[in-house]
C-alpha cells in the first residue's frame, strides 16, 4: 500500500506542473526555437541528460510502499535491494573482501590474535573484468534499441528514410547533436549498470562505520539534493515575482517598503539567519512530537521546513532583478499605451510584464539550483541541515570529518559524496550557462 510523504506529493505535483507548462510553451514557435538553440550545444545536451538521470533517481525514490516485512520502501530500494539490506559489521574499503580494521579473534586453543575478518556479503570469486564486459555488452544492446526507436521516430518526423537519417546523425549533420546524446546515454547506462551489477557481489564504494554500503547512501542522497534544489524554487518564485514586479510597477511607497525589506534581509549574514531559523524549527518539532507518527515523517517534515527556510531567505536577488526589469518595461510603448486605454494593472502584469521577465526567472532558477544543493551540504556539515537520519551528501561529509582524522584514514565516504555532488552541480552550472547565453537579450545583442 502506498504511503507517500509530503515531499513525495510536492515533487510529483511539480513534475505534473512542469509537464503542463511545457505543453503550453510548445505552442509558441519563438519559445520552441529558443529551446532548440539551447540544446544545439553539445555541453548543454550532455548536461541535460545527466540532470535527467539524477531527477529520475529522485522520482524513483519518491514512490514508496508499506510492506509487512521491511516496512516502508521505495522503488529505488527495490532496485538496490541487494546493497540496501546487506550490511557488514563495520568499515570496509571499496572492492575489499575483508574488513578495514583488525579484530580480536579467540582461537580454539584459547590464544587471542588480531585478524582482518572476511566480509559476509562479498563474493570475491566473481571476476570484475568479466562482469564489466557483460555490463558493457548489455548497455550497448539497450542503447542500440533506444537509439533505433529514436531514429525511427525522428526519421518519420523529417519524412526521411531510416538509413538516410541515421547517416545524417552519424556524420553529425542534424540540427541537434543526437550523436553526442547517444554516446552520453551509452556511458550513463554503462556506469549505472556497472555500479548496480557489481554491487551484488562487492561493496563498490566500501562501507561506513555501521557497515552500510556507501554507494547506497550516496544514491539515496540524490533525492535530498534534488528536492532542496527544486522545491526551494517553489517557495522562492511566488514571493520574488510578486514583490519584484509590484515594486517596479507601483513605485512610490510600495517600492520603498519592498526595497527596505530585501535590503534588511541582505544585511543579515545568510548562514546565521538560516541557522537561527533551523534551530527555532528544531525546537518546535521537539516540542510537538504528535505532528508525526514515525521517524521518516519527522525527517521529512524537517526537510520541508529547511526548504521553506531556504526559500524565504533566497528570494531577494531575483526580486531585485525583477524590480529593475519591471521599471524598464513600465516605460516602453506597449505598457504606456495599455495604461492610456485604461487596462487594469493586473492585466498589464499578466499580459505584458510577466512574459517579458520569464527569461530572467528561468536563468535565475537554473543558476540558483546548484547553489541550493551546495547550501544543503554546508548546512548539514555544520549540523543545522536535514535530519541526521536523512540520507544526504552533507551528512556524509559531516561523518567523513572524523573518518579522515582516524588511522587508518577512511576516505571513500567523502570521495563518494564529492563525486555525486560534483557531477550534479557541474551539470547544472554548464546547463545554466547555455540557458543564460540563449535567453539573455544582452548576450543576443553582443
39 located within any domain: no
The partner residues of 114 in beta bridges, in order of sequence, read 104
Per mean pLDDT, which range of 10-19, 122-131, 437-446 is the poorest? Answer: 437-446
User: Which runs of consecutive H residues, i.e. helices, occur in 295-411?
Assistant: 295-313, 316-329, 333-340, 345-348, 354-381, 393-403
Q: Tell me which H or E stretch contains 422.
A: helix 412-439
Cβ-proximal residues to 407 (8 Å cutoff; 6+ apart), any chain: none
What's residue 1's pLDDT?
Answer: 45
In a domain, 91, yes or no: no
Convert the pLDDT of each residue in 196-220 to its tens digit.
899 888 889 988 888 888 999 999 9
CATH number (domain holding residue 374): 1.10.3720.10
Beta-carbon contacts of residue 251 (< 8 Å; ≥ 6 apart): 327
Instruction: Give the contacts of 377 (CB within 8 A, at least 6 positions apart).
Output: 225, 385, 392, 393, 394, 397, 417, 421
**pLDDT, mean over the chain:** 84
Give the separation between CA 365 and CA 436, rounded to whole angstroms: 11
Residue 180 predicted with pLDDT over 90: yes
Whether residue 300 is predicted with pLDDT greater than 90 in this model: the reply is no
What pLDDT was estimated at residue 183? 94
Number of domains in the chain: 1
Give the tens place of pLDDT for each residue, 320-366.
Answer: 888 888 888 888 887 788 778 777 777 888 777 887 787 788 878 87
The pLDDT assigned to 375 comes to 81
Taking the C-alpha atoms of 407, 409, 413 and 416 in order, what is their torsion angle to the nearest 10 degrees? 180
**Domain contains 260:** yes
Any alpha helices (H) in 61-161, and if so which ranges? 75-79, 81-85, 128-157
Share of the chain above pLDDT 90, in %: 16
DSSP string, 424-445: HHHHHHHHHHHHHHHH-HHHHH
Per-residue pLDDT band for 54 (boundaries 50, 70, 90) equals very high
Angle 254-260-266 from CA coordinates, rounded to 5°: 135
- pLDDT value of residue 137: 95
Note whether residue 416 is domain-resident. yes
Is position 246 within any domain? yes
Residue 87 has pLDDT above 60, yes or no: yes
Residues 315 and 308: beta-carbon distance below 8 Å: no
Residues facing 64 on adjacent strands: 74
Please report which confidence band the pLDDT of residue 68 belongs to, taking 50, 70 and 90 as the band edges.
low
| Domain-located, residue 238 | yes
**How confident is the model at residue 149, as a pLDDT?**
94
pLDDT band at 441 (very low <50, low <70, confident <90, very high): low
Residue 444 is predicted with a pLDDT of: 55
Mean pLDDT of the 241-266 span: 87
The proportion of the chain whose per-residue pLDDT surpasses 70, expressed as a percent, equals 97
Q: Over 90: is that where the pLDDT of 85 sits?
A: no
Runs of H (alpha helix) within 95-213: 128-157, 162-170, 178-198
Separation between Cα atoms, residue 68 and residue 430, nearest integer Å: 44
Q: What are the backbone dihedrals phi and psi of residue 405, each rounded to the nearest 5 degrees, phi first?
A: -95, -10
Cell 525522428 maps to which residue?
154
Whole-structure pTM value: 0.87
Residue 375 lies in a domain: yes
pLDDT value at 240 more than 60: yes
pLDDT at 35: 86
Q: Is residue 380 part of a domain?
A: yes
Using the predicted structure, report yes or no on whether residue 226 has a pLDDT greater than 80. Answer: yes
pLDDT score for 42: 92
The predicted pLDDT at position 443 comes to 57
Domain limits for position 330:
214-430
- Cβ contact 79:196 at 8 Å: yes
Q: How far apart are CA 389 and CA 429, in angstroms?
A: 29
Strand 64-67 with 71-74, pairing? antiparallel
Amino acid at each position: 500500500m502506498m504511503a507517500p510523504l509530503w515531499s513525495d506529493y510536492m515533487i510529483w505535483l511539480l513534475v505534473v506542473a512542469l509537464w503542463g507548462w511545457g505543453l503550453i510553451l510548445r505552442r509558441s514557435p519563438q519559445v520552441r526555437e529558443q529551446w532548440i538553440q539551447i540544446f544545439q550545444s553539445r555541453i548543454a545536451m550532455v548536461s541535460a541528460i545527466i540532470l535527467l538521470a539524477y531527477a529520475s533517481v529522485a522520482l524513483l525514490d519518491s514512490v514508496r510502499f508499506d510492506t509487512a516485512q521491511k516496512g516502508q520502501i521505495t522503488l529505488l530500494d527495490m532496485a538496490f535491494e541487494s546493497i540496501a539490506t546487506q550490511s557488514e559489521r563495520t568499515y570496509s574499503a571499496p572492492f575489499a573482501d575483508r574488513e578495514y580494521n583488525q579484530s580480536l579473534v579467540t582461537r580454539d586453543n584459547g590464544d587471542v590474535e588480531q585478524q582482518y575478518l572476511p566480509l559476509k556479503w562479498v563474493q570475491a570469486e566473481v571476476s570484475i573484468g568479466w562482469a564489466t564486459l557483460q555490463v558493457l555488452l548489455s548497455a550497448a544492446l539497450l542503447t542500440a534499441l533506444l537509439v533505433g526507436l529514436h531514429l525511427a521516430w525522428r526519421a518519420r518526423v523529417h519524412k526521411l528514410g531510416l538509413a538516410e537519417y541515421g547517416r545524417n546523425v552519424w556524420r553529425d549533420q542534424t540540427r541537434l547533436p543526437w550523436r553526442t546524446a547517444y554516446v552520453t546515454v551509452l556511458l550513463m547506462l554503462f556506469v549505472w549498470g556497472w555500479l548496480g551489477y557489481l554491487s551484488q557481489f562487492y561493496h563498490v564504494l566500501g562501507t561506513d562505520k555501521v557497515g552500510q554500503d556507501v554507494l547506497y547512501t550516496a544514491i539515496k542522497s540524490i533525492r535530498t539534493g534534488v528536492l532542496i534544489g527544486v522545491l526551494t524554487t517553489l517557495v522562492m518564485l511566488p514571493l520574488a515575482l510578486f514583490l519584484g514586479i509590484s515594486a517596479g510597477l507601483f513605485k512610490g511607497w510600495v517600492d520603498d517598503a519592498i526595497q527596505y525589506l530585501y535590503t534588511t534581509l541582505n544585511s543579515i549574514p545568510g548562514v546565521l539567519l538560516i541557522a537561527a531559523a533551523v534551530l527555532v524549527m528544531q525546537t518546535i518539532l521537539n516540542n510537538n512530537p504528535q505532528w508525526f507518527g514515525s521517524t521518516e515523517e519527522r525527517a521529512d517534515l524537517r526537510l520541508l521546513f529547511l526548504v521553506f527556510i531556504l526559500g524565504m531567505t533566497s528570494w531577494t536577488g531575483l526580486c531585485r532583478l525583477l524590480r529593475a526589469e519591471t521599471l524598464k518595461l513600465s516605460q516602453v510603448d506597449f505598457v504606456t499605451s495599455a495604461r492610456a486605454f485604461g487596462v487594469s494593472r493586473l492585466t498589464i502584469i499578466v499580459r505584458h510584464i510577466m512574459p517579458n521577465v520569464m527569461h530572467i526567472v528561468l536563468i535565475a532558477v537554473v543558476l540558483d539550483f546548484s547553489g541550493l544543493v551546495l547550501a544543503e551540504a554546508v548546512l548539514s556539515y555544520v549540523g543545522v541541515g536535514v535530519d541526521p537520519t536523512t540520507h544526504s551528501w552533507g551528512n556524509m561529509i559531516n561523518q567523513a570529518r572524523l573518518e579522515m582524522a582516524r588511522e587508518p584514514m577512511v576516505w571513500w565516504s567523502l570521495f563518494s559524496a564529492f563525486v555525486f555532488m560534483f557531477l550534479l552541480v557541474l551539470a547544472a552550472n554548464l546547463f545554466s550557462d547555455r540557458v543564460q547565453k540563449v535567453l539573455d537579450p544582452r548576450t543576443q545583442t553582443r
